[in-house]
Amino acid sequence: MGMPDSPRVPVETVNFHLWQPCNMSCRFCFATFRDVRRTVLPEGHLERADAERVVAGLAEAGFTKLTFAGGEPLLCPWLANLVTLAHRLGMVTSVVTNGSLLDEAALARFHGVLDWITVSVDSPRPQTLQLLGRTTAGRAIGGDEYLALFRRIRELGFRLKMNTVVTAGNWREDMADFVIEARPERWKVFQALPVAGQNSGRVDPLLTTLEQFEDFVSRHLRVEPAGIRLIPEDNDVMTGSYAMVDPAGRFFDSVDSRGYTYSEPILRVGVHRAISQVRISRVKFLVRGGLYDFTPEPEPVAGLLAADESGRM
């Protein structure tokens, strides 16, 4: 994973939260970006051409893996175009999604250009998801639906990750059997993070102690002998260890307890000047396992089945 000699970006991977709108209302969400929409970006996203310029700038600066996040990135009508651009520019591509819009047509659009799909699953139990607000039009995805989706993702040759946020609503649960059946390559387990201006007030009843978070992690270590890498990230590990771009095309960090700190826009000052205005620790990035073999794997044996434009998995 070569990096340009000069100048250097501090880490190899970057998350582009390109789309503020979301079709879920998770009470713990620390990427609502309501402040961005209220102050600088009324629509909650850049125009397509500007988003493409941000992607091109990130590639030129030396990032080797680009993750598209939100909000819910699959609400973006030109997400496939951005993924294709990043792929063409030589970046490993990834999308983080709540999974509600990953039907056959969406998977077909990403075939051949998207390397990783990360699905956020906080519980296989719909009643827990209802409590957390991870619902669409009041409906939560069930465990069997998630498993069917994961099987299809793997059949089509995408590499699979799963994200789980540990809260007061799920820290006592045992998801190990579900995760082993889901078979993600990597399972990232986050401690619910309070961020001023993002989830203030809503998240407070859902916060866990470090001991509760560690209890959840220890209960699930048995997924590792099944070949699933469990990556726990408590609040300290998470903050300052990611390169992140907001919907307005600015780097931001979560080191300050008063909320996110934003750089000047990348499209105005360039990637290197913008990233110098936020705090990213390469040491913390490496400690949390941010650098791993994320390069694409060979094409799968199973072929891409015809997409059903109307059906969802």
26, 36, 165, 248: the active-site residue: 26
Alpha helices (H) along the chain: 34-39, 48-61, 79-88, 104-110, 126-132, 143-155, 176-182, 210-219, 235-238, 266-269, 271-275, 282-287
Active-site residue flag, 29: yes
Instruction: Look up residue 149 and give its amino acid.
Output: L
14, 18, 22, 36: the active-site residue: 22
Active-site residue flag, 76: no
**Is 240 in a helix, a strand, or coil?**
coil
Active-site residue flag, 26: yes
Q: In this structure, which long-range contacts are made by residues 285-291, counting pairs with CB atoms below 8 Å and at least 24 apart in sequence?
A: 285/10, 285/11, 285/241, 285/242, 287/237, 287/241, 288/231, 288/233, 288/237, 288/238, 288/241, 289/229, 289/231, 290/11, 290/12, 290/13, 290/241, 290/242, 291/1, 291/11, 291/12, 291/13
Short-list 112, 76, 75, CA closest to 93? 112
29, 54, 85, 141: the active-site residue: 29
CB 188 within 8 A of CB 179: no
CB 28 within 8 A of CB 132: yes
Q: What residue has token string 């059946």?
A: 181
Residues designated as active site: 22, 26, 29
